Amino acid sequence: MDNPQLHPLEVNPKTGEPFLRLLSHKNIIITPTRLDDGPARIPHLNDERIYRWLHSPPHPYLPEHAEWWVNHAKQTEDKWFAELKAARDDPTPKIVDFCPVGSIREVLEDGTEVFIGSIVIHLAQQPWELEGTGRLKQETPRRDAGDPDIWTFGDWLAPSHHGRGIMSDAIQTVMQKWAIPRMGVRRIVVTAIEGNAGSVRVFEKNGFAFRKTIADVLNVRGTMRSVHVVEWRLEDEAKMVV
């Protein structure tokens, strides 16, 4: 019997691997991390078109960085899937604190799956992301309906695939299919390094509003960089629908 706790993830019938298929780009899926993903990450995260807009991966990005990341992500996701498995007898999908899939892959015509990027959603931690909430940090979701937790996205895509609407679709897919219904996400604040117009546009296309630019606030590999902050609230979307 299918595990109702995986809903609305699909399950690959051959491998048993759960995945989300993008809403519009049907040949793109988001899966768990695979232990052999490391080598594919290295050229992308050493590509200036990607790393200049990211503040957390080390540069240069070495095989040991990729190996550490893949092992860490896999262990974390395995725990999440174990939690979903343990609840499989409950027919009502429970609200969880995580999205268990984050590796973006293109499915080629011959069925080969090529790793092309990453999308993660987690609790926001930067002070400007938490501004106005009275919170200094967020370790676990509080799930207080009157005072929503602040979530944030981190994402990147292989330059060979830029400009085709893939990340806009991936953000929409994760929000609509998992973050809102399965994580109870109601507010998201995202930080983009100043000048990252493509990323700001991706979020604006998904209903985010530009909040502000803050000067020289983020330490990116030893240089203080300015950032753009964009914000999404479920209640604003509900108002738009009405």
State which of positions 2-61 bind ligand COA (CB under 6 A).
Answer: 50, 53-54
For residues 23 and 197, which CB has a smaller minimum distance to ligand COA in the complex?
197
For residues 111 and 163, which CB has a smaller minimum distance to ligand COA in the complex?
163
Q: Does 125 bind ligand COA (CB under 6 A)?
A: no
Binding range to ligand COA, per CB under 6 A, among 24-32, 77-85, 132-140, 189-197: 189-197
> CB 191 → ligand COA: shortest distance, Å?
7
Binds ligand COA (CB under 6 A): choice among 23, 86, 95, 197: 197
Q: Closest by alpha carbon to 83, among 101, 71, 103, 100?
A: 100
Q: Closest by alpha carbon to 116, among 208, 28, 54?
A: 28
Report the C-alpha gap between 218 and 224 in whole angstroms: 5
If one counts every other C-beta atom within 10 angstroms of the C-beta of residue 231, the result is: 19
CA 80 to chain centre: 15
Tell me which long-range contacts 197-201 makes (C-beta under 8 A, separation of at least 24): 198/162, 199/53, 199/155, 200/228, 200/230
> CB 119 → ligand COA: shortest distance, Å?
9
Binding mask 137-176 for ligand COA (x = CB under 6 A): ------------------xxx----xxxxxxx--------
Helices 166-173 and 197-205 pack at an angle, to 10 degrees, of 50
Q: Does 93 bind ligand COA (CB under 6 A)?
A: no
| Contact indicator for 61, 45 with CB cutoff of 8 Å | yes
Q: Does 198 bind ligand COA (CB under 6 A)?
A: yes
Q: Does 62 bind ligand COA (CB under 6 A)?
A: no
Binds ligand COA (CB under 6 A): choice among 199, 206, 208, 229: 199
Report the C-alpha gap between 63 and 48 in whole angstroms: 17
Binds ligand COA (CB under 6 A): choice among 3, 133, 196, 213: 196
Q: Does 104 bind ligand COA (CB under 6 A)?
A: no
DSSP reduced 3-state for 30? strand
Q: Does 221 bind ligand COA (CB under 6 A)?
A: no
Number of residues that bind ligand COA (CB under 6 A): 20
First to last CA, the chain: 39
| Contact indicator for 150, 133 with CB cutoff of 8 Å | yes
> CB 202 → ligand COA: shortest distance, Å?
5
Residues making contact with ligand COA (CB under 6 A): 50, 53-54, 155-157, 162-168, 192, 196-199, 201-202
